């Protein structure tokens, strides 16, 4: 029997699990894992992960009331990260509070706190990616953090301008959101998109090509997939972060998978180098209605889930 599509994909792309569910990570053996407030909230509501939330609450229930809930949530994120790192051989992405998305100094401070929390547990900062929204302020925070050896995953990325600014800032990794781009265009046009015609796929392909053409070291990790076709159309991308449902679908298919992206092909691409200062970045982002709307919506949704997590913690105190 020929190899599964998942095994074929692993030949040229680093597969990352997009989940807070440890069992599915064990099943599909990804290299890395990513979490976000929504995934942690989902997992925290399940009986098998409740003990991690209870542990964080128990450890910090006597902390000063001012800042206690925030400290407990940081601890929950770290406890999940520690468990994930027992399963995956690579890195885990841990997200900063989405409400800091327009606060450069606040983001830097939160990232340092999270890294310190991991290092106290004996986990090297090389195994952690701090997830930050791809706002101008978030990108500036990541630029400063990278200089301290705190590596960042710039998330909620929907536009070429965001990707260029991240590369110029020297961030470790970006997560362009394929599925959410697709959602926007599907809602806007009423059309279904497949494979290379998918606007989300096209977005990642153009970013990947640009990075490889100009020798940027920033890793490209396609994220937020709606179907397996989006994943196979990006085979060869540096990394792809995939939900358990789609990992299972790839595992169960033995169709041939061809590499769609490669550094060699990108080097011959006819693209021009561009650069953004703050004004240029804000204008370019504003000109892209999809990216503007989706970045804002993503920040709101993650912020809402952090609030729900806070309410869960408060109910347990």
Q: What is the pLDDT of residues 139-177, one digit of tens each?
A: 999 999 999 999 999 999 999 999 999 999 999 999 999
- Quote the CA–CA distance of 132 and 153 in Å, as a whole number: 6
Helix axes 278-287, 289-316, angle to 10 degrees: 100
Report the DSSP pairing between strands 14-18 and 128-133: unpaired
Average pLDDT over residues 279-283: 98
Domains of the chain plus CATH, in order, are 5-316 (3.20.20.70)
> What are 210's two structure tokens?
């640009």
Tell me whether residue 144 is exposed, middle or buried, using C-beta atoms within 10 angstroms of its C-beta: 0 to 12, 13 to 18, 19 or more: middle
- Quote the CA–CA distance of 154 and 138 in Å, as a whole number: 8
Evaluate if residue 35 carries a pLDDT over 90: no
Which residue, among 34, 122, 67, has the nearest Cα to 313 in the 3D structure? 67
What's the mean pLDDT when you consider all of the chain?
96
Element (H or E) spanning 269, and its range? none
- Catalytic site includes residue 131: yes
Q: Which member of 61, 86, 131, 294 is catalytic? A: 131
Which residue, among 92, 100, 111, has the nearest Cα to 133 in the 3D structure? 100
Q: What is the pLDDT of residues 184-217, one digit of tens each?
A: 999 999 999 998 999 999 999 999 999 999 999 9
Give the per-residue pLDDT at 124. 97
Q: What is the pLDDT of residues 220-232, one digit of tens each?
A: 999 999 999 999 9
- Quote the CA–CA distance of 218 and 153 in Å, as a whole number: 10
Evaluate if residue 2 carries a pLDDT over 90: no
Report the DSSP pairing between strands 128-133 and 173-176: unpaired
Output the pTM of the full model.
Answer: 0.95
- Quote the CA–CA distance of 99 and 102 in Å, as a whole number: 8
Give the per-residue pLDDT at 1. 63
- Quote the CA–CA distance of 144 and 189 in Å, as a whole number: 40
Give the per-residue pLDDT at 44. 84
- Quote the CA–CA distance of 233 and 258 in Å, as a whole number: 9
Which residue, among 103, 88, 104, 118, has the nearest Cα to 20 in the 3D structure? 88
């Amino acid at each position: 029997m020929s190899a599964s599509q998942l095994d074929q994909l692993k030949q040229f792309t680093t597969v990352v699990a997009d989940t807070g569910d440890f069992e599915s990570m064990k099943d599909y053996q990804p290299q890395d894992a990513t979490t976000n407030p929504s995934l942690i909230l989902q997992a925290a509501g399940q009986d098998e992960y409740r003990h991690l939330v209870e542990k964080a609450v128990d450890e910090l229930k006597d902390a000063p009331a001012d800042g206690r809930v925030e400290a407990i949530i940081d601890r929950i994120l770290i406890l999940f990260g520690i468990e994930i790192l027992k399963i995956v051989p690579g890195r885990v992405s841990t997200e900063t509070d989405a409400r800091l998305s327009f606060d450069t100094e606040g983001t830097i401070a939160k990232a340092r706190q999270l890294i310190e929390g991991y290092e106290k547990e004996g986990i090297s900062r090389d195994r952690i990616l701090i997830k930050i929204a791809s706002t101008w302020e978030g990108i500036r925070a990541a630029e400063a953090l990278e200089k301290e050896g705190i590596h960042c995953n710039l998330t909620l990325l929907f536009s070429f301008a965001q990707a260029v600014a991240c590369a110029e800032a020297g961030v470790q990794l970006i997560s362009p959101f394929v599925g959410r781009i697709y959602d926007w265009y599907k809602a806007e046009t009423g059309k279904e998109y497949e494979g290379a015609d998918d606007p989300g796929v096209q977005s990642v392909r153009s970013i990947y090509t640009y990075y490889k053409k100009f020798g940027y070291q920033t890793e490209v990790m396609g994220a937020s997939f709606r179907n397996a076709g989006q994943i196979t159309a990006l085979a060869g991308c540096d990394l792809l972060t995939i939900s358990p449902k789609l990992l299972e679908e790839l595992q169960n298919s033995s169709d041939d998978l061809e590499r769609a992206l490669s550094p060699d092909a990108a080097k011959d691409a006819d693209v021009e180098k561009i650069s953004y200062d703050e004004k240029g970045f804000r204008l370019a982002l504003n000109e892209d209605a999809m990216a503007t709307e989706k970045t804002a919506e993503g920040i709101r949704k993650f912020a809402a889930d952090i609030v729900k997590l806070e309410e869960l913690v408060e109910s347990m105190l």
